[in-house]
Each structure stands twice: as C-alpha cells, then as structure tokens.
C-alpha cells in the first residue's frame, strides 16, 4: 500500500492528487485504490496549482467562532489543470471561468489552498 | 400493491419542551388515528434520525416508547431523501408480504433542542471531513456553489430564485401549521441577509421542531385510497466536489426510472411535492424532473403555474422553505400534504384534481434522490 504524502489536508503547503496506472483515472480524494477500476496503489502526484473556477459561493454566515472570524470568505470549486476538481478558498471577486493559481493562506488555524487570478 | 392509509403531521416551528420522541409519538398517533389502526396492528416500523438525540437503534427506542413490538424495525439515513426512501422501502416490504402495516415516522426538536450554530455545524458534516469541512463550508455554501454554476449555465438570476421563496410563503400563509405566516415579496428576499451567496436568508429553509408519520399498508382502510404506484432512486455522489455535471444529476435518473417502473409520464402528474431546502434546490429539481424547461421554472412561478389554482400545484403547505424543516420530518410534510390533497381533505388549500402526484426528495448536496408516483384509487 502506498503511503500518503503530506498535502494541505495535513498541514503542508501542497495539493496532491492520484492517477491510476491501469486506467488513467485521476482522483482527488486520496484512496488506496482507483475508484474507477479498483486497481491498487494509484500514483500520488503534486498538482501545479493551476486551474479554472467552476463555481463560487461567498460565505457570509459561518457556524463556528473559528470560521466566523474570517467572514466573508469565498468558497470555490476549481477544475485543476491535471483533470480533477477541488474545493478551496479564493479572492472574493473571482468569477466562474476565471483562470486561477493556488497559494496557501491560514484559515481557522490551518493552511488552506487559496486561489487568485492567474497573471 | 401498497397504500398510504394514514398520515400525521404536527405544526412546525417551536415546540418548547418537546423531545424528538415526543414529536415522533405525536405524529405517529395522528397517523394511526387517520388510518383507523391500533398499535397492535402495526407490524413494522421505519424511522429517521435525530441530530439532537442521536441513537444507534432509534427505531426500537421509539417502538418501546410508543408501545409497539414490531416484527421489523430499523432506522434509515439518507439525509433529506430519508422520508421518501423509507416510504419506498415500506412499499416494497408491504408488497412482498414481509409486513402488513408499516409505520414510517420522524420527528426532531431541532430548533429548541440545540443552538442554530450547532445545527448548522452538524449538517455541514455531510461534507468531506478532510477535503471540504476544513474550508468552513456550510450547507448553504454547498448549495450556493451549485447555484452559481446553475445560474451561469442556464441564465437564472437571483430574482428568479426569489420567486420560489415568495411562492412557498404564499402557500404557507394558508396552512395553520406552517412556521411562517407573513407574506414576503421578491424585494424582501433580495434584501434579506446574505448567508452564502447567491443564497440569502429567505432563500434558505428554517430550522424547526416538528414531526411527521405515515402508515403504509397492504390493504386500504378508508374509502379513498392513495396507492404507491411506483418509485425509484439514484445516488451519483456524496460530496459536492465529486458531483457530476449539472446535466447528469440524480434527479433526472431517478425520475426516469420511476417513470419506467410505473408507465407514467410527467404529463400525467396533477400535483407536485418537491424537495425545497433552498430556492435553488426547488428550481433545479423542477427542471431536472421535467416539470419546467431548463431555466424556465421561475417564469412558470410568475405565471401562476405552480400556485394552488395553477396547472401544477406545488407544495401547497409551504414546503421546507416556509412550512419548516425539522430534519427527516421536513420533507415528509410534502407527502402528508399530497395525501390530504389526493383525498380531498386540504381545506382552503384544496386543489381541483390531485389524482396523480409526483414526489421527489434529495439528500446531501443533490447526492441521493428518490422519485415516487402516488395515485388516488376509489
């Protein structure tokens, strides 16, 4: 079983994804197998951080004291260049279709992916 | 064959001092009385869950509390689709001869039993624990993402979405049990506090206390019968990050399966009971189900199509948006109202003809879908 290299979900400033050697499927949520064909040990790769905004929602009402300190914050779905979709934060004025690049920003005590408009 | 022989529904809103079991019991008694059945005649129980009082065996907790020793009992968890999923299971259990009379029940003191923040936080956990929840999303944010995308692809506006809140409120104003009775306008919705854009406070269902129950039976007990004609499900994903394209969501799949199972078409439907956790949910589902063309549902609301006297009366009790949302019971109120309409007992809300109803429930973030056709039989 491949071990799971650290990424932003474990406090590291990186976005990881997996590709299946057997069928080529790309997946974002880490698993010990390919969710499309079941082959074991899909390869872990580091994403470039380049992508395009698929959807946005500016959160103005948060549910915990930790997150309330950050409102308003923009939650995004980003279609990444490598072929997977991820949830992240981003600049408040981003629109669907914008080309974006990832950086990392602390949120509620942990670094999270934060996308800004690609230059 | 299976029939919905009884329905029970409490008012939604505040029930100070009532526990989840109290609300379940109240609704269950109403449903038994409506069916004309006694406790001893109930041989199966399906119940939902309570976020306020979680339990690993809620169905037997309830059975003991209510005073039933069923031959079949367990809880079911499919988020907002739970009520219809339980009804579908009861239909199959009754039809296959496992049970004769099944009680389907849910209730929760979600409003007074916990803080609104606790409720919002508990529900946000439908998100992915590693890849979504650390980003601080809320249920409105998950649906807000879907909304911006839907608006982008189909040219729907915030004012369009507001129409659904206004319609549900207008319907709630005619039901004494609804949580809200003050009429609202599109301008009120637009001016309400931003929650997760484009969704504002009045685009979101409230948190409520309440309970709902049905009895599903092999034989009808009343003169007018409401038969479960057929139903189907579809589950395409759990997390919004993993959702398919808008054109491939589960509502279209489940309704296609339900149509195939029953031989019915959308043109046969006379009454619609559709899940409406947010205005976007209702707009999308109406269009996914074929009750309106893409991007055209709001125009149909404006034209009165979904009003009590319109061609396709919709959620005449006010829906989750204005009757209220107490968890699993929330969308069960839609079925109770459909039953009252089909049996001519909807008082001042009565529609002309509710001979065939289409019900649809959605759990998660458009993750789990149940479509169901009900038919009135004489």
Q: Summarize pLDDT for B12-57 with one digit per residue, the tens.
A: 999 999 999 999 999 999 999 999 999 999 999 999 999 999 999 9
Determine, yes or no, domain membership for A57. Answer: yes
Of the candidates B183, B169, B137, the residue with the CA atom closest to the CA atom of residue B320:
B169
What pLDDT does A1 receive?
Answer: 46
Determine, yes or no, domain membership for A8. Answer: no
State whether A88 and B135 contact (CB < 8 Å). Answer: yes
State whether B240 and A75 contact (CB < 8 Å). Answer: no
Whether A102 and chain B come into contact, CB under 8 Å, resolves to: no
Q: Is the pLDDT of residue A46 over 50?
A: yes
Task: Name the one residue in this structure whose structure tokens are 């979405």.
Answer: B161
Q: For chain B, positions 207-226, list CB contacts with chain A under 8 A.
A: none
Q: Which residues pair with B311 in a beta bridge?
A: none
Name the residue facing B138 among A54, A62, A107 (closest C-beta). A62
CA-nearest residue to A106 within chain B is B135
Answer yes or no: are the C-beta atoms of B237 and B243 closer than 8 Å: yes
Q: Is the pLDDT of residue B163 over 60?
A: yes
Answer yes or no: are the C-beta atoms of B371 and B362 closer than 8 Å: no
State whether B197 and A86 contact (CB < 8 Å). Answer: no
Determine, yes or no, domain membership for A41. Answer: no
The residues, ordered by sequence, that sit 6+ positions from A67 with a Cβ below 8 Å of its Cβ are A59, A73, A107, A108, B136
Determine, yes or no, domain membership for A5. Answer: no
Task: Name the one residue in this structure whose structure tokens are 């390869």.
Answer: A43
Of the candidates B57, B46, B177, the residue with the CA atom closest to the CA atom of residue B99:
B46
State whether B136 and A62 contact (CB < 8 Å). Answer: yes
CA-nearest residue to B153 within chain A is A96
Prediction ipTM score: 0.97
Determine, yes or no, domain membership for A10. Answer: no
Whether B124 and chain A come into contact, CB under 8 Å, resolves to: yes
> Which H or E element spans position B6?
strand B3-9
User: Helix B139-154 crosses helix B116-124 at what angle (to 10 degrees)?
Assistant: 60
Name the residue facing B241 among A28, A30, A61 (closest C-beta). A28
How many domains, chain A?
A: 1
What pLDDT does A2 receive?
Answer: 52
State whether B145 and A56 contact (CB < 8 Å). Answer: yes
Determine, yes or no, domain membership for A13. Answer: no
pLDDT single digits (tens) B275-333:
999 999 999 999 999 999 999 999 999 999 999 999 999 999 999 999 999 999 999 99
Q: Is the pLDDT of residue B263 over 70?
A: yes
Q: Which two tokens stand for residue A9?
A: 């979900």
**Residue A119 distance to chain B (closest CA, Å):** 24
State whether A75 and B135 contact (CB < 8 Å). Answer: yes
Answer yes or no: are the C-beta atoms of B88 and B258 closer than 8 Å: no
**Residue B26 distance to chain A (closest CA, Å):** 31
CA-nearest residue to A72 within chain B is B196
Q: Is the pLDDT of residue B205 over 70?
A: yes
State whether A73 and B136 contact (CB < 8 Å). Answer: yes
Whether B193 and chain A come into contact, CB under 8 Å, resolves to: yes
Determine, yes or no, domain membership for A99. Answer: yes
Determine, yes or no, domain membership for A16. Answer: no
What pLDDT does A35 receive?
Answer: 98
Range of the domain at A59: 50-117
What pLDDT does B36 receive?
Answer: 96
pLDDT single digits (tens) B349-370:
999 999 999 999 999 999 999 9
Q: How confident is the model at residue B7 (pLDDT cuts 50, 70, 90)?
A: very high
The CATH number for A102's domain is 2.40.50
> How many whole angstroms separate alpha carbon B223 and alpha carbon A90?
60
What count of residues does chain B have?
Answer: 378
The mean predicted confidence, pLDDT, of chain B is 96
Does this model's pTM top 0.90? My answer is yes
On the question of a cis peptide bond just before residue B198, with omega within 30 degrees of 0, the verdict is yes
Q: For chain B, positions 127-156, list CB contacts with chain A under 8 A.
A: 128, 130-132, 134-138, 140-142, 144-149, 152
Of the candidates B193, B189, B138, B128, the residue with the CA atom closest to the CA atom of residue B164:
B189
């Amino acid at each position: 079983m491949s071990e799971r290299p650290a990424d932003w979900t474990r406090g590291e400033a990186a976005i990881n994804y997996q590709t299946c050697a057997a069928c080529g499927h790309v997946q974002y949520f880490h698993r010990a197998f390919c969710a499309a064909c079941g082959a074991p040990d899909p390869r872990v790769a580091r994403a470039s951080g380049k992508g395009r905004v698929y959807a946005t929602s500016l959160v103005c009402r948060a549910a915990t004291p930790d997150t309330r300190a950050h409102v308003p914050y923009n939650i995004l779905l980003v279609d990444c260049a490598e072929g997977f979709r991820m949830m992240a934060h981003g600049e408040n004025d981003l629109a669907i279709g914008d080309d974006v690049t990832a950086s990392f920003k602390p949120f509620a005590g942990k670094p999270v992916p934060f996308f800004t408009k690609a230059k | 064959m299976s029939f919905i022989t009884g329905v029970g529904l409490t008012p939604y809103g505040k029930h100070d001092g009532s526990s989840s079991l109290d609300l379940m019991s109240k609704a269950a008694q109403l449903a038994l009385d409506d069916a004309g059945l006694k406790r001893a005649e109930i041989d199966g129980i399906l119940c939902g869950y309570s976020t306020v009082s979680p339990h690993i065996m809620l169905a037997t907790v309830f059975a003991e509390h209510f005073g039933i020793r069923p031959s079949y009992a367990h809880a079911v968890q499919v988020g907002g689709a739970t009520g219809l999923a339980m009804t579908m299971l009861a239909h199959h259990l009754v039809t296959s001869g496992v049970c004769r009379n099944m009680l389907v029940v849910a209730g929760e003191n979600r409003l007074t039993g916990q803080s609104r923040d606790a409720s919002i936080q508990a529900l946000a956990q439908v998100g992915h624990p590693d890849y979504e929840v650390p980003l601080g999303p809320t249920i409105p944010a998950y649906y807000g993402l879907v909304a911006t995308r839907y608006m982008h692809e189909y040219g729907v506006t915030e004012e369009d979405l507001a129409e659904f809140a206004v319609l549900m409120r207008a319907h709630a104003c005619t039901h004494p049990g609804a949580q809200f009775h003050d009429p609202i306008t599109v301008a009120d919705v637009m001016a309400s506090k931003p929650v997760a854009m484009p969704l504002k406070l009045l685009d979101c269902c409230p948190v409520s206390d309440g309970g709902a129950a049905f009895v599903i039976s092999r034989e009808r007990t009343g003169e007018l019968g409401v038969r479960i004609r057929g139903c189907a499900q579809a589950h395409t994903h759990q997390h919004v990050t993993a959702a398919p394209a808008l054109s491939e969501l589960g509502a279209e799949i489940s309704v296609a399966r339900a149509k195939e199972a029953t031989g019915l078409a959308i043109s046969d439907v006379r009454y619609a009971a559709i899940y409406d956790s947010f205005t976007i949910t209702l707009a999308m589902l109406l269009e996914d189900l074929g009750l309106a063309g893409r991007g055209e549902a709001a125009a149909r609301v404006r034209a009165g199509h979904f009003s009590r006297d319109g061609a396709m009366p919709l959620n005449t009790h006010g829906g989750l948006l204005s009757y209220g949302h107490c968890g699993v019971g929330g969308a069960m109120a839609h079925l109770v109202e459909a039953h009252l309409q089909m049996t001519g007992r909807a008082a001042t809300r009565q529609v002309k003809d509710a001979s065939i109803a289409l019900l649809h429930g959605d759990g998660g973030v458009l993750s789990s879908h149940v479509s169901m056709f009900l038919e009135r039989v004489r």
